[in-house]
Structure 1
């Protein structure tokens, strides 16, 4: 399966959250033993927006809907290209005139 590429530049101000997956075992004497959970235990999630004319916002919306939140794709966020899928619900807002904004979340995925 050839992955498609999200070709649009998102607005400045995207927010990255980094999840660290760990496994913790607590002992009765108050001590914890912590280890990483899995081989890819660091995963990024981005909250992004794009402000543009309606035709570009519609193209982005269609791209995200075509992937159904399941199929991964390449995206470059803050200069770094990784594999993501859409998480949650993309939303669009009319800013004024011909200008619209789309907001959505990207979750990093790992492909074998």
Structure 2
């Protein structure tokens, strides 16, 4: 199955978080031994928003719903193209007139 590409630009101010997964063993004398939890132990997430006219917001919303938070897709953020999937809720607050905002979280997906 070929992955689709998220082709829309998101609003400035997207927030990148990086979660580092490690195993830690603590000893009684204060010494800790730390190792990586798997080969992909640094996973990025992004909190993003997009403000646009309703037609564009609906197209993005339909794209995200089509993937159901399960199927990853390509996203280019900050000049880097990686695979992500949506995680959590997708919000669509009305701004004014025909202008809406879409907010959602992207979680990096590692492919086999």
* TM-score range relative to shorter protein: over 0.9
Over aligned residue pairs, what C-alpha RMSD do you find?
0.6
State the alpha-carbon separation in 1 of the partners of residues 79 and 39 from structure 2: 24
State the alpha-carbon separation in 2 of the partners of residues 27 and 81 from structure 1: 41
Structure 1 length as normaliser, TM-score? Answer: 0.98
Unaligned runs of 5+ residues in structure 2 are: none
Q: 1:20 aligned to 2:24?
A: no
Aligned length: 112
Specify the alignment match of 2:67 in structure 1: 67
Specify the alignment match of 1:111 in structure 2: 111
Structure 2 length as normaliser, TM-score? Answer: 0.98
Runs of 4 or more, structure 1, over 3 Å off, are none
Specify the alignment match of 1:7 in structure 2: 7
Unaligned runs of 5+ residues in structure 1 are: none
State the alpha-carbon separation in 1 of the partners of residues 3 and 101 from structure 2: 25
Specify the alignment match of 2:80 in structure 1: 80
State the alpha-carbon separation in 2 of the partners of residues 39 and 50 from structure 1: 33
Q: Cα distance, 1:46 vs. partner?
A: 0.0
Q: Cα distance, 1:69 vs. partner?
A: 0.3
